[in-house]
Structure 1
Amino acid sequence: MMKISVIGSGAMGCLFGSLLSVKNDVVIIGRNKNTVDFINNHGITINSSEKFYPKAALNGSYYEKSDLAVIMVKAYDTAKALENNKKLIENSQYILTLQNGLGNAENILEFAERDKIFIGTTEHNSSVEKTGYICHGGNGATIIGGLSGSAEKIADVFSECGISAKASNDVFRVIWKKLLLNAAVNAVTAVLGIPTGFIVKNNNVLEICQNLVSEAVKTAESCNLSFSADEIMQSVRNLSLRQPHAFTSMYSDITNNRKTEIDSINGAIVSIAEKNNISVPFNRMITDMIHALEMKGISGI
């Protein structure tokens, strides 16, 4: 059994905090007092039937020694969450991020030593139905690797809780592969207002995804990472078929007038492409469209 703190009480934080609590001592760290109180008093319900009872605490109020701290906040909130929970990070043996996009490990390096940090990706998908109630829209592999150490122990802990996980010695490639998939899917579903299952049903949507992937693969090549655009597109189709009724987190953010992680996904591709003189008009356009939708939501139009 591990003592685990999950920083982030949104959909993914509650999902992983719940699943890990089956065989571990888990505390979910959140910034919303109503959410924290609800979890402590009523637990978390997944897919209307499965009940879990992890503990919960407010940001900055919990800093007991942990075997593992899992960062599950939105990418744009990482630095703030780490600062608010600085003492907890210092008291944690290992730090793991399963967040979307690029740059998360670099943020954590400002608060923890390299040999404590692990990064990874997950194919699990979830959304918040209401406080304390999570919809687990789809699952899949969770891949974890250390910046300098083996992730076998952490992967085993996840697998023991029913979260299919494996350790990787080339986790940065894994992060980029997930980035390419997210770049093809997340913003497209948010702009069009569609579930992932619609992608494979419509050739126009598939063509948009193909253009986004082609640009992203060229950008990856400028970072000395080689990927097959055809293989990434097959992953897009597989995801669409495997999770036909799932909605991406970016779709949920736009629908609920929240800031998105676009700058860590398609926006990150645009930034890297600019530095390497690569033209990425489709990624630039969809990044601009998401920013426009964010502003539309904020202004209440």
Structure 2
Amino acid sequence: MNVAVLGRGAIGSLLVAQSQLNQTPFDMWWRTPEPEDIRVWLQNGDTVSLKHSEKVSPDLLILPLKAWQISKALNDIKPYLSPQTCIALLHNGLGTEENTLEAFPENSILRLTTSKAARKNGDDVYETGYGQSHAGWLREPPTAQRIAVERLIAQVLAPCDWHRDISQPLWQKLAVNSVINPLTAIHQVNNGQLADKSFRTHIDELLREFCRISALENRHFDFEDLQATVAKVIALTAENFSSMHQDIYHHRPTEIDYINGYLLNRAKLHGITLPLNQSLYSQIKQLESNYLSSSKSPQNSARKN
């Protein structure tokens, strides 16, 4: 199969590096080609260098991007895609699926999620943790292509579980992200610090709000099971910094609209409120606004010039 991965992000670079070691060739499409290679440092001690590839219509295109980047990225590369290209969405949160299905009515669409972890520093990417992946079709391709894609994804995202209904694991991942991401971003702490008892009330209240809206969406979760899941993720990723923490730290847009914001939008449709989600959402948006406004100030503009 001709497979392409879009972007220079940490997770995408990690997937391509691991694929090369497994002799599964992947192309990398960088939205803005850079002269420097990406170096990926794997936990097993291997180092892999990655280069930009010329765009040739792929059988499978994987988009390991931020959720807010998906729509524009697909629009930009649409001329390079054929109706037979399978599009695989790999990001935190929910909210891109319906737009992608509508914008590409002839293409098969695959939804992925993973807890694999990697950190990027300049042109270096460091694998920071192994993890479980989940996959499921939003729109299936013909049988032969479906089998080929499923085999490839099972290799590059191993261990990977396939789901007839991918929305259930996506909602469970959303529960974890709606807790860990905003709390670590606002307080600028690593994941492990959320185990402190000072965060327990907020974590429990966020999970109660999640259970309330997920039940209205016919996605039923046990509150105590979610508590245990979040505690496990915090423990296993104790030294890691969440993606939203890193976005706030580096003054980048966050995925808050596709995580807590997504829950708030669903709650609005059902006529209910989620007070703590709303509070955290507002705080993150204010932080984004502060540094975006600062970057546009006359003083900063003068410095850049």
Q: Same fold (TM over 0.5)?
A: yes
Supply the RMSD in Å over aligned alpha carbons. Answer: 2.2
Q: Aligned pair 1:30/2:30, yes or no?
A: yes
Deviations 1:89-133 (A, max 9, x none): 3265321111111122223213323661110211112221112x1
Q: Check the 8 A contact 1:3/1:24 in 2, yes or no.
A: no
How has the CA–CA distance of structure 1 residues 121 and 162 changed in structure 2, closer, same or farther, with 3 Å as cutoff?
closer
Q: Unpaired runs of 5+ in structure 2? A: 296-305
Q: Aligned pair 1:268/2:262, yes or no?
A: yes
How has the CA–CA distance of structure 1 residues 114 and 283 changed in structure 2, closer, same or farther, with 3 Å as cutoff?
farther
Q: Check the 8 A contact 2:33/2:52 in 1, yes or no.
A: no
Residue 50 of structure 1 is aligned with which of 43, 46, 51? Answer: 46
Q: CA deviation at 1:230?
A: 1.5
Residue identity (%): 24
Q: Check the 8 A contact 2:15/2:157 in 1, yes or no.
A: no
Residue 63 of structure 2 is aligned with which of 58, 64, 71? Answer: 71
Deviations 1:152-207 (A, max 9, x none): 6434324434732121112011111111111011111111111111112x112122
Q: Check the 8 A contact 1:71/1:96 in 2, yes or no.
A: yes
Q: Unpaired runs of 5+ in structure 1? A: none
CA distance in 2, matches of 1:246, 1:220: 27
Q: CA deviation at 1:136?
A: 2.0
Q: Check the 8 A contact 2:113/2:133 in 1, yes or no.
A: yes
Aligned residues: 289
Range moving further from structure 2, 247-256 or 150-159:
150-159
Q: CA deviation at 1:86?
A: 0.3
CA distance in 1, matches of 2:78, 2:284: 32
Corresponding residue of 2:298 = none
Q: Check the 8 A contact 1:115/1:146 in 2, yes or no.
A: no
CA distance in 2, matches of 1:290, 1:71: 25
Residue 278 of structure 1 is aligned with which of 251, 263, 272? Answer: 272
Q: Which amino acid aligns with 1:199?
A: L
Corresponding residue of 1:170 = 165
Q: Check the 8 A contact 2:18/2:156 in 1, yes or no.
A: yes
How has the CA–CA distance of structure 1 residues 107 and 55 changed in structure 2, closer, same or farther, with 3 Å as cutoff?
farther
Q: Aligned pair 1:4/2:3, yes or no?
A: yes
Q: Check the 8 A contact 1:13/1:72 in 2, yes or no.
A: yes
Q: Check the 8 A contact 2:133/2:157 in 1, yes or no.
A: no
Q: CA deviation at 1:271?
A: 1.1
TM-score, normalisation: structure 1: 0.88
| Structure (1 or 2) with the larger CA radius of gyration | 2
CA distance in 1, matches of 2:105, 2:41: 35
Q: Check the 8 A contact 2:83/2:107 in 1, yes or no.
A: no
Listed as ranges, the matches of 1:120-199 within 5 Å are: 120-131=112-123, 133-149=124-140, 153-161=148-156, 163-199=158-194
CA distance in 2, matches of 1:47, 1:216: 35
